[in-house]
Amino acid sequence: MTARDGRDPRELAAMGLDTHLEDKLLRRKYVSTMFDILAPGYDAFTQLFSFGMDRGWKALLVREGSRRAARAPCIVDLACGTGDLGIDLAERTGATLVLGLDLSPQMLAAARVRLRNNGTTLLLVACDMLELCLRENRVDVVSIGYGLRNTADLGQGLIEIARVLKPGGILLNLDFYKPAGRVWRELFLWYMWNAGRLAGWLWHREPIVYGYLAPSIRRYVTMPQFEDELARAGFTVEWRASRLGGGIGLHVARLVTKPPETRPG
């Protein structure tokens, strides 16, 4: 079975997960190929795989975030996928400019189809969140759903976000984390690995399509470690929520200290 753009899921199996996760450039290639393959069924998969909880987590994050940035003129949804967070934020805040940025052309294509039926205006652009195609101090709110974990460099991702945010700007982030407790962590990852591979086989006849989830969480940080990284990049956490025993984290953080400029705008 192939995705609508004709990409064959076996492409991913041939790439080799472990080697591609360790290297920055290879990882970007792996992740963008993977999301190109799964883009057409992504929304249905997410709802099914999270037993519908994803909608509730996003609604809660958007509510808490927009309370703190009610009249934000410029919002950027990074790793926007099909645009869940960007669309909700646009509707809730009435922002004048909402950008959706993503690495995967097929995810952006799926977002375009969705926006045609939805009526919300989201400007969609292909862009890597480790090298944002935005100038510094332009953005009031950055939202990210399950995005930062996919990059090879969390610290660089946060510094890039801090670069484009205005001082006092808000970051909304939702992601999987490595649970801190060892027993629960192993159970959680065991479930993610097996359920992911089963879903990959059922959906694409290729287990590895969703087999990435567990290894990417295992290589990622715990929630407290993520909060340390936020602090290092100049953010202070204003609100947090943890779900699934620390396996899911929601954060609203404010940029209080701009990091020194790292690259020209």
Ligand X SMILES: C[S@@+](CC[C@H](N)C(=O)[O-])C[C@H]1O[C@@H](n2cnc3c(N)ncnc32)[C@H](O)[C@@H]1O
The reply on whether position 253 binds ligand X by CB under 6 A is: no
- The yes or no reply on residue 129 touching ligand X (CB under 6 A) is yes
Residue 61 beta carbon to ligand X: minimum distance, rounded to whole angstroms:
10
Give yes or no for residue 31 binding ligand X (CB under 6 A): yes
Q: Which of 84, 88, 136, 160 binds ligand X (CB under 6 A)?
A: 84
Tell which one of 33, 66, 93, 151 touches ligand X (CB under 6 A): 151
Helix axes 182-204, 42-49, angle to 10 degrees: 140
- Is 246 an interacting residue with respect to ligand X (CB under 6 A)? no
Identify each DSSP E strand in 4-91 by its residue range. Answer: 74-78
Is-contact 203 213, C-beta < 8 A? Answer: no
Please give the structure tokens belonging to residue 140.
Answer: 């009031």
Question: In angstroms, what is the minimal distance from the CB of 248 to ligand X?
Answer: 12
Residue owning tokens 């939702």: 174
CA 224 from chain centre, in angstroms, equals 18
80 near ligand X, judged by CB under 6 A:
yes
Contact call for residue 196 and ligand X (CB under 6 A) = no
Give the footprint of ligand X on residues 91-110 (CB under 6 A): 102-104, 107
What proportions of the chain, in percent to the nearest 5, are helix, strand and coil?
A: 50, 20, 30
**Residue 53 identity:** M
Between β-strands 235-243 and 248-255, what pairing exists: parallel, antiparallel or unpaired? antiparallel
- The reply on whether position 150 binds ligand X by CB under 6 A is yes
Where does this chain bind ligand X (CB under 6 A)? Answer: 28, 31-32, 35, 46, 79-81, 84-85, 102-104, 107, 128-130, 145-147, 150-151
